[in-house]
Amino acid sequence: MGDWLPYIPIKSGEVMRKKLALALALIFIPSIAHADMVPAHFILTGSGFGHGVGLSQIGAKGLALEGKSASDILNYYFPGTQVATSPINQDIRINIAHQSTYQAAVGSNLQLYKGDLTVAPISIPQGSTVKFALVGKVISPTIVTKGSPTQILSPGTFFNLRWGGILKVAGISLKYGSVGLRVVAGKIEVTTTMKLDTEYIYGISEMSSTWPTAAIQAQAIASRTYGLSRIGSIRKDCDCNVYKTIYDQNYVGYSKESEISVGGLWKAAVDATAGMNISYNGAPINVYFFSSSGGTTQRSEDVWGTAYPYLINVADPYSLDIVLNPSYSHWQRVLNQSDLTTAFGLPDIATLTADSRTVTNSVISVTATSSAGAKSTLLVGVFKTKLKVPSSWFQIN
For range 235-261, the mean pLDDT: 96
pLDDT at position 394: 98
For range 203-216, the mean pLDDT: 98
Crossing angle for the helix pair 263-272 and 213-228, nearest 10 degrees?
60
For range 330-349, the mean pLDDT: 97
Whether residue 333 contacts residue 47, with contact meaning beta carbons closer than 8 Å, is answered with: no
Does the structure show a pLDDT above 90 at 16? no
Tens digit of each residue's pLDDT (9 = 90 or more) over 63-117: 999 999 999 999 999 999 999 999 999 999 999 999 999 999 999 999 999 999 9
Whether residue 31 is contained in a domain is answered as no
For range 224-246, the mean pLDDT: 96
Tell me whether strands 394-396 and 41-46 are parallel, antiparallel or unpaired: antiparallel
Whether residue 341 is contained in a domain is answered as yes
- Give the span between the Cα atoms of 227 and 90, in whole angstroms: 10
For range 349-360, the mean pLDDT: 95
Does the structure show a pLDDT above 70 at 286? yes
Cα distances (angstroms) measured from residue 196 to each of 54, 199, 241, 387: 22, 6, 11, 36
282's CB contacts (< 8 A; 6+ apart) are none
pLDDT at position 4: 36
pLDDT at position 209: 97
- Give the span between the Cα atoms of 95 and 240, in whole angstroms: 6
Buried residues in 9-25 as b, exposed as e (16+ CB within 10 A): eeeeeeeeeeeeeeeee
Amino acid at site 138: V
Whether residue 375 is contained in a domain is answered as yes
Backbone angles phi, psi at 340, to 5 degrees: -70, -45
pLDDT at position 397: 87
Whether residue 74 contacts residue 55, with contact meaning beta carbons closer than 8 Å, is answered with: yes
Q: How many domains does the chain have?
A: 1
Domain residues for 389? Answer: 41-49+325-396
pLDDT at position 17: 52
As a whole number, the mean pLDDT across the chain is: 92
Whether residue 368 is contained in a domain is answered as yes
Whether residue 370 is contained in a domain is answered as yes
Whether residue 15 is contained in a domain is answered as no
Whether residue 392 is contained in a domain is answered as yes
- Give the span between the Cα atoms of 79 and 312, in whole angstroms: 8
Tens digit of each residue's pLDDT (9 = 90 or more) over 114-159: 999 999 999 899 999 999 999 999 999 999 999 899 999 999 999 9
Confidence of residue 22 (pLDDT cuts 50, 70, 90): very low
pTM score of the predicted model = 0.88
Whether residue 390 is contained in a domain is answered as yes
